[in-house]
Amino acid sequence: MQAIANKFQDQLGTIPTDIHPEYNHVEGDPTMKALTWFGAGDVRVIDAPIPDITEPDDVILQVTGTTICGSDLHLYHGEIMALQKGDILGHEFMGKVFKVGPNVKNLKPGQRVVSSFQIACGKCEYCKQNLSSFCDRTNSSSLQNYMYGQRDAGFFGYSHFTGGFPGGQAEYVRVPIGEVNLLPIPDSVPDEKAIYLSDVLPTSYHTVVDTGVKVGDVVGIWGLGPIGQCAARWALLKGASRVIGIDQIPSRLHFAESKSGVETIDFSQYKDIPKRIYEICPRGLDVALDCGTFHEPKSLVHKVQKTLMLETDVPETINEMIVSVRKMGSCGIIAAYAGYANGVNVGALMEKGVRLIGNGQAPVLKYWKEILQDYIIPGKFDPTFMITHRVPIDDIAKLYSAFDNRIDGVEKVFVETQFSAPPSQGCPRTRRVDEWSEGR
């Protein structure tokens, strides 16, 4: 798939953008550790050149924390188009400002900042409304434009389908248009509470807000990875009367029950999820949120279709959501999808008047200040609840496999570098991945 996508992209040419993914190297070619993609199931930590200021709006960060996301697993499985060997991955990270380009006035070397996972220009029609993930000027992918009619912003470390920008699972990273895409963090907020402003916090918040969770709603959440766990908490903060979480990983089901008071359904035990939902909630759900993953088919029919490339994405969760919500209920899709799915229950969608909302890639800039000021600083939402492990960057290739297999109750991980501060009080200490995943 990658070879065809890259070839097609070459033939289409690229769309002009304000910024470019290629970067200059620091003089003398010193190197840094960086996690790179080499093929499905094959990611490696290599010594890569350290980026230098390349365009005048650039900021170079020394990465003080990074992590892994369910979206990285789509890359790991080779499910996202236009990956190239040697691509540096990672779109959630924070750091200390190391160097600033001549146009950057609001940041100084040494300052602590979080980066948005998307790269916004700050000037286009979408950026003016803080819809940063939809920026028109930073993604050169004509392939995405061809498939979707329009294209997302450029993203860090998320294939050439989103611009081919090197990511932040590395010791240094270049952040284009740093004035717009970096958020300064006050000293009172430790790294473990700040880093997830990059993606998982705004993303989970966005699906709850964008799908319209209201006071008293019964909300169903498919997928209890970090996004689902946070979405459950946001739904409760927005006044949901019940949250029902669906997954099959025992540790994740238990985590949601014990830490957030979520009712759960284990889909390995209940094969017919809508049936079970109607048993415990006869009226149907008011809102359903897809926080799962499109590349894990449950049924034979979709396993076969996916293997034969008759579909790229699996519609099972979408169908379960459409059937499980009440008439005129809402379904939000925040889980990343890539292409086409067969057999969507369009009849139920239409007849029940279901509002099926593609939440899009979350516009981080719309929410990150609000989340920091109104929720993290006053202690209304403590993101550290989801951190289960802390590992050194040397182990991040092994972390891909451990996170993919959901070993040892892993939820969100903090990945440290040589520039990280010691773990904050109450947060996990550093452990090698082998210590908690060996033999499993």
Ligand X SMILES: NC(=O)c1ccc[n+]([C@@H]2O[C@H](COP(=O)([O-])OP(=O)(O)OC[C@H]3O[C@@H](n4cnc5c(N)ncnc54)[C@H](O)[C@@H]3O)[C@@H](O)[C@H]2O)c1
**Would you tell me which residues interact with ligand X (CB under 6 A)?**
69-71, 73-74, 199, 203, 222-228, 246-249, 252, 267, 291-293, 296, 298, 316-317, 334-336, 361-362
Cα four-point dihedral sign 68, 70, 73, 74: negative
**Choosing among Zn ion, ligand X, none, which partner's interface includes residue 252 (Cβ < 5 to 8 Å by kind)?**
ligand X
Residue closer to Zn ion by CB (options 68, 433) is 68
User: Per CB under 5 A, does 127 bind Zn ion?
Assistant: yes
Residues 6+ away with beta carbon under 8 Å from 344: 315, 318, 319
**Choosing among ligand X, Zn ion, none, which partner's interface includes residue 334 (Cβ < 5 to 8 Å by kind)?**
ligand X
User: Per CB under 5 A, does 89 bind Zn ion?
Assistant: no
Residue closer to ligand X by CB (options 74, 242) is 74
Residue closer to ligand X by CB (options 71, 140) is 71
Shortest spacing between CB 275 and Zn ion, in angstroms = 32
Distance CA 153, CA 132 (A): 7
Residue whose structure tokens are 């939902």: 277
278, 282, 286, 292: CA torsion to nearest 10: -20
**Choosing among Zn ion, ligand X, none, which partner's interface includes residue 223 (Cβ < 5 to 8 Å by kind)?**
ligand X
Question: Quick check: 177 and 122 in contact, CB under 8 A?
Answer: yes
Provide the angle, in degrees to the nearest 10, between the axes of the packed helices 226-237 and 250-260: 20
User: Per CB under 5 A, does 386 bind Zn ion?
Assistant: no
Ranges within 198-227 binding Zn ion (CB under 5 A): 199
Ranges within 248-277 binding Zn ion (CB under 5 A): none
Binding mask 128-167 toward Zn ion (x if CB under 5 A, else -) reads -------x-x------------------------------
Shortest spacing between CB 126 and ligand X, in angstroms = 15
Tokens of 248: 């099959």
- CB atoms inside a 10 Å sphere around CB 228: 28
Residues 6+ away with beta carbon under 8 Å from 44: 35, 36, 38, 397
Question: Quick check: 281 and 244 in contact, CB under 8 A?
Answer: yes
* Residue among 71, 116, 211, 361 that touches Zn ion (CB under 5 A): 71
Shortest spacing between CB 137 and Zn ion, in angstroms = 5
Residue whose structure tokens are 């993604």: 139
Shortest spacing between CB 60 and Zn ion, in angstroms = 22
Q: Is residue 309 classed exposed, middle or buried when 0-12, 13-18 and 19+ CB atoms within 10 A define those classes?
A: exposed
User: Per CB under 5 A, does 68 bind Zn ion?
Assistant: no
Give me the phi and psi of 293, to 5 degrees please. Answer: -150, 135
Shortest spacing between CB 401 and Zn ion, in angstroms = 18
**Choosing among ligand X, Zn ion, none, which partner's interface includes residue 182 (Cβ < 5 to 8 Å by kind)?**
none
Give me the phi and psi of 194, to 5 degrees please. Answer: -95, -35
**Choosing among ligand X, Zn ion, none, which partner's interface includes residue 354 (Cβ < 5 to 8 Å by kind)?**
none
Question: Quick check: 156 and 173 in contact, CB under 8 A?
Answer: yes
**Interface positions with Zn ion (CB under 5 A):** 69, 71, 121, 124, 127, 135, 137, 199
